[in-house]
Amino acid sequence: MLRHAFSGVLLAAAMATPVLAAEGQASLFAGGIGNAIVTLIIFAVVVYILGTKAWPPLLRALDEREHSIRGALEQARKEREEAEALLAEYRQQVAKAREEATAIVDEGRRDGDAVRARLQEEARREAAEMLERAKREIQLATDAAKAEIFDQTSELAVQAAGAIIRKELSPDDHKQLVSEALARMKQQANLN
């Protein structure tokens, strides 16, 4: 490194000397060989000090920063993948709950038809009660599943986002961001 710097200085001085002499100005070496040697020694010392004292800590700090950024990105990717996997699992649970609810409704209808065939008036009353109970159970199961998915999804989203941007948001901004996210998720849950 020192050799490259020294060669660069000598090349620049050699190329500048004819140009300066042609313009009538003093040469870089006009002060004598002693001044040139002292200047080169000082330059070499400065390059050496910078090369041994200044650059290694700067390069080390840059490497550490790059490593920490890569680590944070990798952690964020892992957390996103975990959240996506958890969301897929909850969607499967909701689908299963809907299938079970449909099976309960179908079973209730079959039971209602059988009872109606035997006891027409009593069967109508019992079928209506069973259908109402099945609807309440379906609604309760659906509401519970949505609430659980909503709570866990919002918790994961808040944790992942908080880990990434905790240092960049004030507490008030953080509360507002969470409130807006929760409101959007409730709105989407109500639309479904």
**Do residues 82 and 129 both lie within one domain?**
yes
pLDDT per position as a tens digit, 69-95: 999 999 999 999 999 999 999 999 989
Q: Is there a single domain that holds both residue 48 and residue 105?
A: no
Quote the number of domains for the chain: 2
What's the rounded Cα separation, in Å, for the pair 87 and 144? 15
- Answer yes or no: do 83 and 28 share one domain: no
Judgement on whether residues 116 and 160 belong to the same structural domain of the protein:
yes
131 with 154, same domain?
yes
Of all residues in the chain, the percent with pLDDT exceeding 70 is 76
Q: What is the pLDDT of residue 13?
A: 57
Domain with 179, as residue range(s), is: 66-191
Shared-domain flag, residues 167 and 136: yes
94 shares a domain with 45: no
For tokens 């390069």, what's the residue? 59
Same-domain check for residues 151 and 103: yes
pTM confidence score = 0.31
Q: Residue 170 pLDDT > 60, yes or no?
A: yes
Q: Which helix (H) or strand (E) holds 53?
A: none
45 and 100 housed in the same domain = no
Rounded to an integer, the average pLDDT of 5-19 is 54
Residues 92 and 145 in one domain: yes
pLDDT band for position 160 (cuts 50, 70, 90):
low
Specify whether 15 is located in the same domain as 99: no
When pLDDT is cut at 50, 70 and 90, the band that residue 1 belongs to is: low
Q: Output the six-digit token pair for 111.
A: 């039971």
- Phi and psi for 164 in degrees, rounded to 5? -85, -40
Q: Which residue has the higher pLDDT, 2 or 51?
A: 51
Q: How far apart are the first and last CA of the chain?
A: 66
Q: Are residues 145 and 98 in the same domain?
A: yes
Answer whether 83's CB lies under 8 Å from 157's CB: yes
Q: What is the pLDDT of residue 82?
A: 92
